[in-house]
Structure 1
Amino acid sequence: MTRILERNKMKAKIKFSFIFVFVLFWGNIANAQIVINEIMYDIEGSDDGREWIEIWNNGNEDVDLTGWKFNDGSSHNLNEPPKNGGQGSLIIGAGSFAILSGDAELFRSEHPSFNGTVIDTVMSLGNTTDTLSLINEAEVDSATYNKEMGANGDGNSLQLVGSSWLSVSPTLGQPNSLNEEASLVEAATVSGEMSLVVETEDLMKKRILVDIGNDKNVIVGASSVFEALAVGLEKEPLQNARYVWSFGDGDTKEGENVLHNYQYPGEYVVVLNISSGKYSASDRIVVKALPADIIISNIDNEKGFLELQNNSNYELNLSWWMIKSENNYFTLPKDTIILANKKMILPSKITGLNFPDINQTFLLYPNGETVFQYGKIVANPLIKNNLGVKPPSKANLEANPTSRAEGNGILGIPEVSAESEPVKKEIVGTEYSQIEDFNKSQIAFVGGAVDGLNLFNKWTFLLMGLILISVVGILFSRKMTEEISLEEETLSADDFKIID
């Protein structure tokens, strides 16, 4: 009996040890997909607030950095964007990059074209040597460098390529992979195996080619197809190649044909690198992401909801877009889709937002830039002279009686000057009117007060017509009277004949 009890205890210990090791191992695998990928430790000029590192999620799942710390000798919190000028989110998508900066606002001002995630933290990197680490309860990844490795004030950064750190030009938000020829030359220089240079020359004689088309325009939030055409050494269709796309906004994908959507407007350089064995090739285009035609179409405090409307012919992905009411924010979760020409209702119970001043409600891109402000005119470059206008309610007019006299036009709606080209005008609220030709029609406004204005215009034209008819009648009657008087003056007694 005693042996049986001891045997059961031993089995229980073994099971517990197995579970403990499995949990520990699994946790390390989940964290291991975030690595320190690039280090800018010595900037030309002053380093104060300008140092940064790039981290990379090389796994297949998103990673939430909430609660993580950065350590450069001391542990520092990661501030959730948009705090201190950060942009993006603490959630790093699979295959995506993020910048940790000692001053996020300063970093963005010095790199205005960078559209990826920027996270503010405290950072003081040594100019001679240092060890950096990412911590999520336990250490996730670390990197040690020294100035002999390069990038010490020459404008380059240290980049992790394979298992080696190389000093090359910064590649913010993009993979650190060099082309095959450069990699071989670098390897030959570092290892002293100069025989590899001969192989490099052979590689340069034979090349594979790839083409991703011409520059193009896309719609923000809408998924766009990016396609590649690759050929081999004999110009045959290339088989079994690796395709790595970089979209210029910090996101990367793999595949011959992929889908990607941009989160806010701008011009992006899309680069495709392909490799097949020891051969490689690349191509690039410029993509212009145009603003999405999406508005806040209604806010109802009594029923507790906010309504978005997609006026475009594309379904839009609103991942990480934000709604701001005064100083409160709600971030739309990943893969929030609004269908083409459809509306989306967001209940206040879910967003946690209320709207004490509905005119201080904003729809924001993930970087914090304004897409639409409720109650304001927002020009849409997609449709020339397309304006979204929210007529003030009766309550707003009563609360702000001076709005009629502030130069904002009738009922507080900003005035629109006439132009010779057609204009499309949208009235934001519970009803909509579209004006297809500004020269051939009058602007139609929503509401009883505006209907009264149109009625007033009709009566005005009618009254002017009556006045014109009256003037013509008076002039005509005067002329007739003058002719009759003239005839009476010219008649004499000889002109009359007495008839018996």
Structure 2
Amino acid sequence: MRWLVYIALLLYTPTLVSAQVLITEIMYAPEGADANREWVEVCNSGSEVNIENWKFFENDTNHGLSLISGTASLTSGSCAVIADDADVFLGDHPSFSGNLFDSAFSLKNTGETIALKDDSGSEVDRVTYSDADGAKDDGLSLHRNSNSWIPSTPTPGIGSGIENSNPEQGPTNEASGNEPPTTNTTLYSYESVTIEPPQDIFIRVPTEITTVAYSHTIFKIESYDATGSAIDSGKVSWSFGDGGEARGREVSHRFLYPGEYIVTVSLELGSLFDTKQIRLIVVPLEAKLYVAPDGSWVSIENQSEQQLDMSQWRILSSGQYFRVPDKTAIPAMSEVRFATEVTKLTTLRAQQQATLVYPDGTLALQSVKKPEANEEIKVQDSTAEVQQPAGTITTAPTRSQIYAPEVAIAEAAAAVTVAAQKERGDVASATQTGVVILESGHEEENRKSPYWYFALAALLTFAVSIALLGKPKALVVDGFEIVEEKN
């Protein structure tokens, strides 16, 4: 008869377990106050496993585990207690000396689903309890029995299962003595069962890429299965959003026009499938290629507002070339110089010319002369003194041929003023006065306009004085005749 029971247990064992580590006892509604007094027991029925980085899942939240006593490595048949508050738990169970983890959770008194997850996030065990199972506010806890729960005296860390002595009848209360049902306690160990995760595949690609028109952009994917292990098989398809397509785990594509594109990549592995999209921004190449006058360096100036990826581009010079290393980028609005000592483009010293090509060899830029830092458009210095032959009067150029006739009056006044300043030896002032007339349209010289009025007033005063005082004396200044009379 005993061997028949043994065979029956073996046949029934797979229905008792769902993983190596199981949730075997739940204290969800202690007698009295619930706060900080809830706990669950987990037991290992398989090979040794470390649960220190596992998570207890409750109320849609993953709760971490912190080892308080014992060890985090559970050997086959050993158990551990996960307590809402380890200090309160030890106060309620002072004789406990097993494996204890502290966490932070609150089990619902009406029942809920709880789970245990390993350090990879995979679910190890999931159970559901209800207040209809019992052990609510009566000092008892729920013990796992096959696929159901039975209330019984708490045994944290023991790992005992409770089976009714007559499972078909269930627990009953005798009317005569109202005594609790008779039960038998049976210790059992679980058979190790490996649960395979659901089959699935996942693609990992950047969400956004910025590239340069006409350059070859590299696209590649990483793919994983449901356990997080990398996989290299499967069919990979690319659609670049500009009509182009490609096949393979690593491909390249050249976008001819600036703009924004949506690149779609798909992975098929048997009946499994995953797809992702990449936002691609294509910008025009806004850059200059310079060579030092002595050939000691060649530089690339990024004149755009986007970072410029130069990976695998090449700089050519008279049969020599330098390949720009991977992950070389030039910041926006910046210049990077490549020393000849690094590039080994020795012909630069003689030629001072270079060419920049895309990774596929297509021409990108020809070198141009770099403007010097102090090179500016040369403008005639309006304050420079013009050398005149001795005895001449420095005057402003006549503008009566360009401007309205009334301008000539101001020029005549300025001429008289210049003559007076010259006689006093004030050459700089004389020169400056002439420039004021020439450049009267400029804002800077307009601030000197009061001198015009003084000069004009002096001219009129001088003319009136001559008319009243004496015989005319001709004075010709730049096409104007001023007559002075004396008595």
Specify if TM > 0.5.
no
- Structure showing greater radius of gyration is 2
- Give the TM-score normalised by the residue count of structure 1: 0.30
Which structure shows the bigger proportion of residues in helix conformation? 1
Higher strand share: 2
